[in-house]
Amino acid sequence: MKLKLLGRLLSASSRAALIAGLTVASVAVGGSMAQAQDSDGFRPLFNGSDLDGWHARPHFSPIKFAEMSDADREAKKQAWMADAEKHWTVENGELVNDGHGAYLVTNDDFRDYELRLQYKTVARADSGIYLKGTPQVQIWDYTDQGKFKLGANKGSGGLWNNSAGADGKDPLVLADKPFGEWNDVRIVQVGARTSVWLNDKLVVDNATMENFWDRKNPLFVSGPVELQTHGGEIRWRNVKIKELSADQANEWLAGKGDEGFATVFNGKDLAGWTGAVDNYEVVDGAIRCKKGKGGMLLTEQQYGDFVARVEFRLPAGGNNGLAIRAPKSGDPAYQAMCELQVLDNTSPKYAKLDDRQYHGSAYGMAAAKRGFQRPVGQWNYQEVTVKGSTIRVELNGTVILDTDLSNVSDYMAGRPHPGKDRKEGHFGFAGHGDAVEFRNVKLKSL
């Protein structure tokens, strides 16, 4: 049977909001699918009978779509819907495309989730799964010699639109089933961190998915799932998703590659820490800066090159920092290699800061990308890698800062940072009077 697609109007979000990592689209639709979940927490995205919960869009930049006028967006929607109606059908509980027409896009956006589906396709077909509105988990004919130069012989499941040589671009193993058989896909995406299993074989292992639409910026913080059509019949079924809570997402990130890390906070007291110990307390397994207090709480051990992992939770308007290669005294923003801001970016009182003062920034020297914090009151997961003069900050699965401080010559307010070339120092927290909390603090020397 032919289907009537449900359209949606992308909000007139500015390009700046999109590339800052905000949601690809906010939607207003009618007749959304019921949110019923199975015992494992998954809910269906395709109900087996119609396209409730979906709309149409071809390969088209969501950034450009947001920049269009309301009238032009509406015209595009209508044209895409009319096109898709010619090429999509439902047969025996399967979503079928003839290899042509606009793609199908979920009305809902997703941030951190596990997606499962099955597909079956034909020889010479070339398809894929867009995540957060971005191409793509590749699906194609692994026997098509004409595409071996593109990597088809390596099989499906890779993040094909990642840069050449980047992790995840090519699948780790060839896992495709013969034509005529159903393939099982499992995808876990937390931030930009993406893992893919094809037919129970791991083909992408926690790789960073790049933003095809704007490679200078990270993958959007959230967006829709999109089923691509391209050159041959493809059938989809059992399409379902489980959204991950903040704690589940953090647990997933913490469980990837934990070898070699040492816990430096025991969850009970401040043994092993020095500095402004009296200005911090341990509450429910977390280090908390006492409200109205501050100063540096530092590890007794010093570190040169290292990786730090920490969860933090901000109160409204909260302000703290991570002291990197800090001395035992002085202002870490200037006397340490740097202070990495820990800040509630959403607070109105911080609306007019210098870009180098927002969360994750090397204070006063290098600005981090914004838009990737969890809502105030939720725990965030952050990983910091320090090698030589370089520093990399990954927040909730998305890289928000990757810089070489040796190249910095333009300082906020013209104030130099004499500590930025330090080769070793303490790690810790730089309180500024707010009850910011930290837990699960782990470090690994490199």
- Non-local (6+) Cβ contacts of 227 within 8 A are 95, 97, 103, 104, 105, 127, 129, 130, 236
Look at strands 88-91 and 193-198 and give their pairing: unpaired
- The pLDDT value given to residue 258: 83
Counting runs of H as helices and runs of E as strands, what totals does the chain give?
5, 26
pLDDT score at 230: 85
Mean pLDDT (the chain, rounded): 91
Q: Cα torsion at 318, 320, 321, 323 (round to 10°)? A: -170
101: region left, alpha or beta (phi > 0 left; psi from -120 to 50 alpha)? left
Q: How far apart are CA 145 and CA 308, in angstroms?
A: 45
Q: Which two tokens stand for residue 395?
A: 């927040």
More confident site: 4 or 395: 395
- Among 384, 387, 405, 403, CA closest to 395: 384
Q: Where are any strands of DSSP class E within 209-265?
A: 226-228, 234-243, 262-263
pLDDT at 146: 84
C-alpha 383/C-alpha 177 separation (Å) is: 37
Residue 223: C-alpha distances to residues 108, 133, 163, 189, 441 (Å): 8, 5, 21, 12, 31
pLDDT at 38: 79
Task: Report the C-alpha gap between 211 and 443 in whole angstroms.
Answer: 29
Pair of tokens at residue 97: 């495309």
pLDDT in tens, 247-295: 999 999 999 888 899 999 999 999 999 999 999 999 999 999 999 999 9
Listed in sequence order, the residues at least 6 apart from 164 whose beta carbon sits closer than 8 Å to its beta carbon are none
| pLDDT for res 25 | 41
Q: What is the pLDDT of residue 180?
A: 86
For residue 68, the tally of other CB atoms under 10 A from its CB is 14
**Residue 388: pLDDT over 70:** yes
User: Residue 361: which of 326, 333, 397, 387 has the closest Cα?
Assistant: 333
DSSP string for 272-289:
TEEESGGGEEEETTEEEE
Over residues 94-102, mean pLDDT = 95
Architecture of domain 15-244: Sandwich (2.60)
Average pLDDT over residues 154-161: 96
pLDDT at 35: 61
The domain limits of the chain are 15-244, 252-445
Specify the higher pLDDT residue, 16 or 203: 203
Range with the poorest average pLDDT among 8-12, 46-50, 207-211, 311-315: 8-12
Q: What is the 3-state secondary structure (H, E, C) of 40-61?
A: CCCEECCCCCCCCCEEEECCCC
Q: Average pLDDT of 172-190? A: 96
| 413 DSSP assignment | G
pLDDT at 20: 47
Q: pLDDT for 408-443, tens place per residue?
A: 999 999 999 999 999 999 999 999 999 999 999 999
Please tell me if the domain spanning 15-244 has the same topology as the one spanning 252-445. Answer: yes
Average of per-residue pLDDT across 105-121 = 97
- DSSP for 318-353 reads -EEEEEEEE-SSS-HHHHSSEEEEEE-TT-GGGTT-
- Specify the pTM: 0.92
DSSP 108: S
Q: How many CB atoms lie within 10 A of CB 290?
A: 16
Tokens of 54: 């979906």
Report pLDDT for 83: 94
Does 6 have pLDDT greater than 60?
Answer: no
Beta bridge partners of 208: 193
Distance linking the first and last C-alpha atoms of the chain: 60
Residues making up the chain, counted from first to last: 446
pLDDT at site 124: 86
Above 80 in pLDDT, residue 379?
A: yes
CATH number of 252-445: 2.60.120.560
Predicted confidence band of residue 190 (pLDDT cuts 50, 70, 90): very high
Q: For a pLDDT cut of 90, what percent of the chain falls above it?
A: 83
